[in-house]
Amino acid sequence: MCSPALPVTTSTAPTRKVDEQLTWPRFLLLVALAGFAIHWWQQRSENRLIQAAADAYGFLQLPMPVNSPPHVVLLFAPLNCPGEAARRADTLAATLTKAGIPNIRTSSYVSAQYTPSEMKSPAFTRLKAVMNGAIPIALINGKGKSNPTVEEIIAEYNFDR
């Protein structure tokens, strides 16, 4: 005797529910990836513009701290710190002093009140890029660079004189 065939039923409800559940995470992942890509592209473009603005020695035009003396190299790094970057700054300062280049070691930057404008914004973008770079940071007569070599500082100092 043959057993009667059992009816085959298909239901789309559970499948549709699973598809809906998987759609939202996919959508959110897509939005997050798009946001990341846009942010990455803007950062990349900004970095290229900043690098293009550098002079022959890699220094960028920057707003100087309030009351900074002219023709004096300002070296920014933590004071009285045993860290590698602070030791590099100490060595840099000593070498510049031996070369007869006046310099000041400091760990703070005091700026005038900043009011955003189209003219000031690029300068402060460059300042932010330099000040967020590796230390020590050198500022000379309206130009700055993060982690410069002694040769770069001397060349920039002599170039501006």
Read off the pLDDT of residues 124-134 as tens digits, 9 standing for 90 and up. 888 888 888 88
Nearest to 105 by CA among 95, 120, 115: 95
Token pair of 118 as six digits: 């189209």
Domain ranges, residue 36: 13-52
Total number of domains in the chain: 2
Same domain, 42 and 84: no
3-state SS, 12-24, equals CHHHHHHHHHHHH
CATH assignment at residue 111? 3.40.30
Q: Which pTM value belongs to this model?
A: 0.64
Same domain, 82 and 145: yes
Same domain, 128 and 86: yes
Same domain, 40 and 70: no
Same domain, 84 and 143: yes
Q: How far is CA 32 from the centre of its chain?
A: 22
Same domain, 39 and 72: no
Token pair of 4 as six digits: 């009667």
Same domain, 80 and 128: yes
Q: For residues 158 and 151, is the Cβ–Cβ distance under 8 A? A: no
pLDDT by position in tens, the chain (length 161): 555 555 555 555 555 555 556 677 777 777 788 787 766 666 655 555 566 567 778 898 888 888 888 899 999 988 888 888 888 999 999 999 999 999 999 888 877 656 666 556 777 888 888 888 888 999 998 899 999 999 999 999 988 66
Same domain, 46 and 73: no
Same domain, 28 and 102: no
Same domain, 96 and 48: no
Same domain, 47 and 65: no
Same domain, 117 and 93: yes
Distance between CA 71 and CA 87 in Å, rounded? Answer: 23
